């Protein structure tokens, strides 16, 4: 379902390398247990165990996620806004209210001025890929 406030969706092709790095702090006992499971061959490395644990938790809460996505009218997955998309929005005089669970990306050729003229608000649960200048310009509109 397309959010009525979104002009046109141009998803990027997903690649296995489309990931974000996170940092977590673990207690030494937890870390030791992870290393033991890796050493015993249950997982190929620490990251494998942590990804598996996260996926298991997301599966356990899948219904809550599904209901929340529907209730908040979030676009699920990858959402890309090109310069052409934003110029078309600017020509209509409308502004976008971007709400994404996943990855929202704004084209590298989008100027801060065009972003400000066309993006009213931004809610991204996941990651936002945009030039530093566009991120800076939109800082007050990111919730």
- pLDDT (mean) for 67-86: 91
With CA atoms as reference, report the closest residue to 125 among 81, 73, 85, 86.
73
Whole-number average pLDDT of the chain: 88
pLDDT digits (tens, 9 = 90+) for 15-24: 445 788 899 9
119 CB contacts (<8 Å, ≥6 apart)? 81, 86, 95, 96, 98, 138, 141
What pLDDT is stored for residue 9 in this prediction?
A: 36
Domain ranges of the chain: 28-60, 64-141
Higher pLDDT, 51 or 8: 51
List pLDDT tens digits, range 107-135.
Answer: 999 999 999 999 999 999 999 999 999 99
> Cα separation of 125 and 56, whole Å?
19
pLDDT tier at 10 (50, 70, 90 boundaries)? very low
How many angstroms separate the CA atoms of 108 and 133, rounded? 10
The pLDDT tens digits for 15-68 are 445 788 899 999 999 999 999 999 999 999 999 999 999 999 999 999 999 998
CB-based contact 100:31 (threshold 8 Å): no
Tell me which of 104 and 18 has the higher pLDDT: 104
Q: How confident is the model at residue 140 (pLDDT cuts 50, 70, 90)?
A: very high
Q: 3-state secondary structure string, 86-132?
A: HHHHHHHCCCEEEEEEEEEEECCCCCHHHHHHHEEEEEEEEEEECCH
DSSP 21: -
Comparing 135 with 71, which gets the higher pLDDT? 135
């Amino acid at each position: 379902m397309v959010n009525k406030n979104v002009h046109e969706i141009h998803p990027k092709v997903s690649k296995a390398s489309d990931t974000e790095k996170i940092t977590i702090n673990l207690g030494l006992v937890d870390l030791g247990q992870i290393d033991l499971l890796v050493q015993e061959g249950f997982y190929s490395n620490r990251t494998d165990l942590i990804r598996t644990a996260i996926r298991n938790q997301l599966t356990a809460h899948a219904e809550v996620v599904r209901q929340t996505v529907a209730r908040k009218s979030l676009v699920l997955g990858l959402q890309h806004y090109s310069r052409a998309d934003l110029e078309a929005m600017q020509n209509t005089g409308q502004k976008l209210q971007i709400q994404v669970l996943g990855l929202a990306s704004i084209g590298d050729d989008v100027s801060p001025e065009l972003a400000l003229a066309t993006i009213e608000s931004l809610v991204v649960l996941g990651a936002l890929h945009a030039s530093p200048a566009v991120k800076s310009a939109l800082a007050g509109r990111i919730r």
